[in-house]
């Protein structure tokens, strides 16, 4: 019952999630920045290894994606005991999965680098970093799951504080192994890898303590019947697998589009990267809004407050589109100054400025589909939104990017027009799905809550 002391609102949930995600992104950049003063080759090696680890984290989201929704629905339905059961099953599932992946990286890391045709001079250092971080990647799997569980209880500030602590410890560890005046058995690449693992371990311990102290969580997996564990695991995977599949195919589509952009030349690719990085903060905020929406809608659905869920979903959609468009417009107004901080190439600056103005339409459309797909997912409507998202990105975004950008010679402007069409078409289709209210018929948890009960 401890979590009910917290009043949940969209903004109260969103801003800590945003800070936590920002800190998580910075954690990966800390290694790159600090190693850049150590060795360019070390930076390249860590970058290669992190590409593999990024895709692995996507796989861990298979369980984490379902965890947030099912716990939120059970809490909304007043089933705290069932919520803790789901949390226990989710942690064990991702831990087992993480151990399997750790074993794969320990024994197959070098083979993976061979498949990627990594230059021979980078392979030893990349292998060292992957051996250490990959060997303990199961810790990250459990940490991500625990963070998701705590956020599902509405305690987003706590996970933010833990993320801040992890970054401070990681930064301190990197400084010691790279610039420390004392002799250490591990320095350079190996030292940074150990610093990464150590900071994540501390984060895991902190999250475990918070989970026990601040929520109703109680580890009783050994007391659950096999049928109960199977039911919870099935529900988690029912949501998680389509969600992870959407991330995989969307990432694959972006790789394909990047290959088209490469045909436009280095300047076009540079302009896209600068525009994308500058707009990154707006994108992170939108994702944070979507995750907060998922938690809140899940509570309403669990309590069978379908009318409230429907109205809140529409309200959150409007808020996200307005906020995203407003922040993108502010960035566009300052675009020439912002791009000028990174390059003095006028051709790149002009292209990037055009892209950031187009991003006003792009980000508002993207915010709409992110809010809607997370709201539908929170209601248990998983498959149809995934079909819409994957079909649109390949049929519209990928195809139009080549046709407009390459074939008709519109360059990056054509590519961004394709992105805009994709995002807005997805938003309109998902909006129709939300308005159909077919999601009211989907029951993930066997709801027994009385209609009208307040879920938080």
Q: What is the pLDDT along the chain (456 residues), one digit of tens a residue?
A: 454 444 678 888 999 999 988 887 777 667 766 776 666 677 777 777 777 787 787 778 778 888 999 999 999 988 888 898 899 899 989 999 999 989 988 888 777 777 766 677 777 888 888 888 888 999 989 999 999 999 999 999 999 999 999 999 988 988 888 876 556 566 678 888 898 899 999 999 999 999 988 887 776 656 667 778 888 888 888 888 888 888 888 878 887 888 888 788 878 878 887 888 788 888 888 999 999 999 999 999 999 999 999 999 999 999 999 999 999 999 999 999 988 887 888 998 999 999 999 999 999 999 999 999 999 999 999 999 999 999 999 999 999 999 999 999 999 999 999 999 999 999 999 999 999 999 998 887 765 544 445 555
Coil vs helix vs strand at 450: coil
Integer Cα distance of 198 and 249 in angstroms: 32
pLDDT value of position 5: 41
Q: Are 371 and 293 in contact (CB under 8 A)?
A: yes
**Torsion on CA atoms 394, 400, 405, 410, rounded to nearest 10:** -160
pLDDT value of position 450: 45
Q: What tokens does 86 get?
A: 């789901």
Q: What tokens does 130 get?
A: 């992957």
Q: Where are the domains of the chain?
A: 2-224, 240-441
Q: Are 174 and 190 in contact (CB under 8 A)?
A: no
| Measured distance between the N- and C-terminal CA atoms of the chain, rounded to whole angstroms | 10
Q: Are 427 and 389 in contact (CB under 8 A)?
A: no
Q: Are 194 and 133 in contact (CB under 8 A)?
A: no
The single residue listed with the structure tokens 């307005």 is 322
Q: Are 352 and 274 in contact (CB under 8 A)?
A: yes
Integer Cα distance of 306 and 99 in angstroms: 40
Sign of the CA dihedral with 77 first, then 80, 84, and 85 last: negative
Distances, alpha carbon 201 to alpha carbons 141, 270, 368, 379, 421, in Å = 11, 37, 36, 34, 43
- Angle at alpha carbon of residue 61, lines to 55 and 67, rounded to 5°: 175
Integer Cα distance of 15 and 10 in angstroms: 9
Distances, alpha carbon 420 to alpha carbons 6, 130, 173, 361, 392, in Å = 38, 37, 42, 6, 11
Residues in the chain: 456
Q: What tokens does 381 get?
A: 């409507």
Q: Are 307 and 262 in contact (CB under 8 A)?
A: no
Which of 25, 8, 62 shows the shortest CA–CA distance to 285? Answer: 25
The single residue listed with the structure tokens 């819409």 is 388
Integer Cα distance of 170 and 275 in angstroms: 29
Integer Cα distance of 193 and 185 in angstroms: 13
The single residue listed with the structure tokens 């540079």 is 270
Q: What is the CA radius of gyration of the chain?
A: 22
Which of 393, 396, 415 shows the shortest CA–CA distance to 263? Answer: 415
Integer Cα distance of 22 and 59 in angstroms: 20
Coil vs helix vs strand at 143: helix
pLDDT value of position 390: 94
């Amino acid at each position: 019952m401890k979590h009910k002391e917290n009043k949940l609102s969209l903004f109260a949930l969103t801003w800590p999630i945003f800070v936590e995600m920002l800190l998580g992104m910075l954690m990966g950049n800390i290694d790159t920045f600090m190693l850049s003063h150590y060795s360019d080759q070390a930076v390249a090696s860590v970058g290669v290894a992190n590409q593999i680890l990024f895709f692995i984290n996507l796989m861990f989201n298979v369980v984490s994606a379902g965890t947030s929704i099912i716990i939120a629905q059970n809490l909304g339905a007043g089933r705290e005991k069932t919520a803790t059961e789901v949390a226990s099953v989710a942690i064990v599932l991702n831990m087992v999965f993480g151990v399997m992946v750790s074993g794969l990286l320990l024994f197959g890391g070098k083979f993976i680098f061979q498949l990627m045709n990594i230059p021979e001079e980078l392979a030893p250092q990349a292998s060292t970093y992957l051996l250490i971080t990959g060997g303990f990647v199961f810790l990250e799997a459990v940490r991500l799951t625990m963070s998701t569980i705590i956020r599902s209880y509405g305690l987003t500030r706590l996970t933010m504080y833990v993320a801040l602590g992890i970054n401070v410890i990681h930064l301190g560890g990197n400084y010691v192994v790279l610039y420390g005046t004392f002799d250490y058995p591990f320095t350079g690449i190996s030292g940074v890898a150990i610093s990464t693992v150590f900071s994540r371990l501390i984060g895991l311990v902190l999250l475990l303590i918070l989970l026990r102290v601040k929520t109703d969580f109680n580890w009783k997996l050994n007391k659950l019947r096999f049928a109960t564990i199977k039911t919870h695991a099935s529900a988690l995977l029912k949501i998680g697998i389509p969600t992870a599949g959407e991330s995989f195919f969307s990432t694959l589509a972006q790789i394909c589009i990047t290959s088209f952009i490469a045909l436009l030349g280095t300047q076009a690719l540079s302009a896209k990267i600068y525009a994308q990085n500058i707009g990154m903060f707006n994108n992170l905020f939108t994702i944070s809004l979507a995750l907060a929406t998922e938690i809140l809608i899940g509570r309403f659905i669990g309590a069978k407050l379908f009318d409230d869920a429907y109205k809140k979903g529409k309200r959150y959609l409007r808020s996200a589109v307005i906020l995203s468009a407003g922040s993108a417009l502010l960035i566009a107004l300052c675009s020439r100054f912002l791009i000028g901080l990174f390059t003095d190439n006028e051709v790149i600056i002009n292209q990037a400025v055009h892209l950031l103005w187009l991003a006003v339409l792009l980000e508002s459309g993207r915010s709409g589909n992110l809010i809607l797909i997370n709201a539908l997912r929170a209601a248990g409507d998983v498959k149809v939104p995934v079909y819409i998202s994957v079909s649109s990105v390949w049929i519209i975004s990928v195809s139009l990017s080549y046709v407009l950008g390459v074939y008709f010679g519109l360059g990056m402007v054509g590519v961004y027009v394709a992105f805009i069409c994709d995002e807005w078409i997805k938003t309109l289709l998902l909006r129709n799905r939300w308005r159909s209210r077919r999601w009211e018929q989907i029951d993930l948890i066997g709801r027994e809550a009385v209609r009208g009960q307040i879920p938080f």
